Amino acid sequence: MEVLSINIDKVFYDNLLKNLFTDPCEVKYWDGEIKQYGVGDAQFRIEFIEPIAKSEIINDPSLAFGEGYMFNKFDIVGNVQKVLESINNNQEGFMNQKKPYVKLVKILSNSIRKAKEDVQFHYDIGNDFYRLWLDETMSYSCAYFKSPEDDLFQAQKNKVSHILRKLNLQPGQTLLDIGCGWGELILTAAKAYQVKALGITLSTEQYSRVLERIKNEELQDLVEVQQIDFRELKDRTFDRVVSVGMIEHVGKGNINGYFSAVKSLLKEDGVSLLHSITSYDGVGTNSWIDKYIFPGGYIPSMHELVSLITANKFCLIDLESLRQHYTKTLEHWAQNFEHALPEIEKMKDETFIRMWRLYLNSCAASFHGGINDVHQFLFTNGANNTWPLTRAYIHA
């Protein structure tokens, strides 16, 4: 019976792999058999150590693929990002067929307690870990490459500068950063523009690091940080509100609540910038990412965000795509991650390492292939007829 089961599995795999990739590849099965799929020289090789159950693949291909790689049921010989792009590019392939019984998004709103747990699940796994593969600014969002020759550090400095220029900050103004990360944006805003900045985060490790940076850079008079949810911030208003890579964590049911909160936190004629990963197909996320990387997360569509901006009576004045910048950012992170493996292996086990390798490369593949994008939305609370007539002020 066991031999029969294995043979049935191989028939299923053979039919699956014939149409999975857009590039020719080589597959080594768990029994040692090697087969070529596609015409031409193999671009990569998949090596199965053991089969993934047919039922798991059919029920949830994303979760089955992610866990299969994580738990070393198969390995990839070659460029992991290119393998994932080869799957993504095959729109008729099994992995890209939307199945009504696969849970792709979470519809329910995240409570404040749940939101904190979800954020800490991802961000509180150690500042020392993130420091190994992020740049010196500890920026964990899309960088901005003014030139292909920019290194990651320069590109992250460019990103912060680009955002602050868009906000047209003036000395003495107040700035709120919702999801401030490790504090680079609020600290730079205070030093470069002499604004009073508040950063909020749900991450304990980020909060501690920002406190440390404020003290070390003697910016106590201009910068503060609080470990709270944006829904808990009351009775304060700001000239500018910015959020970079945070709204993806609030859950589908809370996205309108985010804009309602910004409405109450922003002064009349105030300006807000939202920097968010966006989707085009409205799927939101997949089950592997939801289970292992960003629990409770949801990637909104660009249409969804524009609709909510206008529904909350904001005036949208600027919209910019940074998709190619995020591809380059993720490729830098993935390379840094591999270079830092000797140190990471002292901290994390093999399953964790394979999980993060797949995560970083799958994200790079999705941005490079146009499955996901990242947009910056600039909008005002009211008409704000004093705003510059052109975008020249950003590049002055």
Q: Is the pLDDT of residue 11 over 70?
A: yes
Write the pLDDT tens digit of every residue in 258-308.
999 999 999 999 999 999 999 987 676 789 999 999 998 999 999 999 999
Write the pLDDT tens digit of every residue in 342-355.
999 999 999 999 99
| Beta strands 266-279; 372-380: pairing state | antiparallel
Q: Is the pLDDT of residue 256 over 60?
A: yes
The per-residue pLDDT of the chain, averaged, comes to 92
Amino acid 46: pLDDT = 97
Q: Is the pLDDT of residue 2 over 90?
A: no
Amino acid 9: pLDDT = 80
SS (H, E, C) 209-247: HHHHHHHHCCCCCCEEEECCCHHHCCCCCEEEEEEECCH
- Give the DSSP letter of residue 301: B
In the block, tokens 């799927």 appear at: 283
Give 156-196 as a DSSP string: HHHHHHHHHHHTT--TT-EEEEES-TTSHHHHHHHHHH--E
CB-based burial label for 224 (10 Å; 0-12, 13-18, 19+)? middle
CB-based burial label for 237 (10 Å; 0-12, 13-18, 19+)? middle
Active site residue 363: yes
Q: Is the pLDDT of residue 330 over 90?
A: yes
Q: Is the pLDDT of residue 24 over 60?
A: yes
Amino acid 202: pLDDT = 94
Ordered alpha helix ranges (H), 293-374: 302-311, 323-339, 341-347, 350-368
103 alpha-carbon distance from chain centroid: 20
Q: Compute φ and ψ for 174, nearest 5 degrees.
A: -110, 140
Q: CA 78, 67, 98: angle at the middle one, nearest 5?
A: 90
Amino acid 286: pLDDT = 87
Interacting residues of 237 by C-beta distance below 8 A, sequence separation 6+: 174, 264, 265, 266, 267, 270
Tokens of 371: 């499955």
The letter for the amino acid at 367 is: F
Model pTM? 0.93
In the block, tokens 């911030």 appear at: 233
In angstroms, the CA 39 to CA 41 distance is: 7
Interacting residues of 303 by C-beta distance below 8 A, sequence separation 6+: none
Q: Compute φ and ψ for 56, nearest 5 degrees.
A: -65, -40
Tokens of 218: 């003697």
Write the pLDDT tens digit of every residue in 57-73.
999 999 999 999 999 99
Q: Which domains does the chain have, with CATH numbers?
A: 2-96 (no CATH), 112-395 (3.40.50.150)
Biggest CA–CA distance in the chain, Å, is 78
